[in-house]
Amino acid sequence: MERTLRNTAIKSFFLFIFVILAVSSAVSAQEQPPLSFDEASKLMLRNNPQALAAARSMDAARSRIAYNKSGLFPQVSANAAYNRLGSEPAPSEESYSYGFSAAQPLFSPALPAAIRSARAAYRKAEADYDRIRANLLLDLKTVFSDLIKAREILKLSGEIIKRRAENVEIIRIKYEAGRENKAALLETQSAHTTSKWQHEDYKKNLRLLERRLNRLLVRSPAERTMVEALAEPPAPPEDFDSFSKILELHPSLRSTRASLDSARAAVDRSVSGFLPEAGINGKYSWSGSDWPDKAKSWSAGASLSLPLFTSGKLSADLASSKADKARAEASLKNSRDEVFLNSEDAFLAWRQAWSYMDVVRISLEAANARSWMLRKQYLSGQASYFEWRNVEDQLISAENQLLSAKRDLSIAHAAFINSLGE
């Protein structure tokens, strides 16, 4: 009996501890501060595979610059060898050798061209990283805007359910009093049921958006996150021309310019194939048949090479490089036109979204006023059910339009910032 009581007490104690820990974790999860856009941006750029891959490409391009630069400096190497030679019936012989060798290019036109090409490749990798970064930030801003709208529309949906439920009670009372027809009651009940179904659908959409955010941030799909409200987008300026200088630094243009610089370096490399190359070299070594007895030897010299006949190989390579350069020049012009046109389109969309906010705000105020007035008139018998229903639907539509307009304005501003390459 005493043992049973003791076991029961121990089980109750551990159950109590488990409940306390569960409640504490739930409370701490609820008290977790909302995630700001800046915090999410840092987290995304630190963990997202696309950003990491682009950053590693920059590291590789930076290393290639150092690799090509090393060709301008002396190259020193050490060598050692051991050989054993024998034949029957003579005894075998052994030989040893070790030493150092060095070489220094004096005139090599291909090396500066290779360095310029490597630097252009690094600038291209840097521009590509900035472009990927800008696209990821646009995706993140879009998800944030969608999440904020989803939470607001879920909140609005809860209020609509309450209003629909009140409407059902009003119609039921009037129907039971013989002052309303059954069609109105059934229609109101249908609207109430539909609003509850829509509420569940909004919950599903919210969960899908949370999973999309988690994928961008490379987090567990099951993690739930509250996001902080975004700052109100600024009013767009009147003139688009003020952004011309910023557009010249667009990642797409920088990448295309880097490709053009690389093509120019390739032309110089092709031209260098027609030019002589010169260098000096030296060697110092020790060799012998008995270790450590050894004989010393050294050598020093210079070399000069000049291509005389290559069966048209160098000329074909030069023609190909010049064609690539012309293609890169045409691509740069096309990219500049495309960047400016896309950015101006995004600018006009931003201005349109900003202007539309005034329209939906005024429409919501008017819908609120009409709804209040028609509700009073319907309750006093001065308006029909269908007039009241239409105004109620218009109010709900205006409320949804305002949330959509806020989301569209936020994304339009983000899309314009993205079109600037930022």
Domain residue limits at 257: 34-73+108-275+333-419
Residue 23 covered by a domain: no
Whether 84 is covered by a domain: the verdict is: no
Residues 350-397: tens digit of each pLDDT:
999 999 999 999 999 999 999 899 888 888 888 888 888 899 999 999
- The whole-number pLDDT of residue 33 equals 84
Q: State how far the Cα of 228 lies from the Cα of 144, in Å rounded to an integer.
A: 8
Which pLDDT does position 27 carry in this prediction?
A: 41
Domain presence at residue 151? yes
- The residue type found at 340 is F
Would you state the pLDDT for residue 181? 87
**Is residue 341 in a domain?**
yes
226 backbone φψ class: left, alpha, beta (φ>0; ψ -120 to 50): beta
| Residue with the two structure tokens 């291209």 | 124
Alpha-carbon span 418 to 406, nearest angstrom: 18
pLDDT at residue 307 in the model: 83
Q: Is residue 8 part of a domain?
A: no
Is 42 part of any domain?
A: yes
pLDDT in tens, 194-249: 999 999 999 999 999 999 999 998 888 888 888 888 888 999 998 888 888 899 99
Q: How far apart are CA 141 and CA 36, in angstroms?
A: 11
Torsion of CA 288, 290, 292, 298, to 10 degrees: 0
- pLDDT for the residue 28: 42
Q: For residue 22, what pLDDT is reported?
A: 47
User: What is the strand order of the sheet 93-107 is part of?
Assistant: 75-85, 93-107, 277-288, 295-305
CA angle 161, 165, 171 (to 5 degrees): 140
CA distance 112 to 118: 10
- Report, as ranges of residue numbers, the positions in the chain whose pLDDT lies below 70: 1-32, 86-91, 290-294
Question: In total, how many domains does the chain have?
Answer: 1
Q: Would you state the pLDDT for residue 292? A: 61
pLDDT on residue 10: 55
328: in domain: no
Q: Is residue 386 part of a domain?
A: yes
Which CATH number characterizes residue 69's domain?
Answer: 1.20.1600.10
Check residue 381 and give its pLDDT: 82
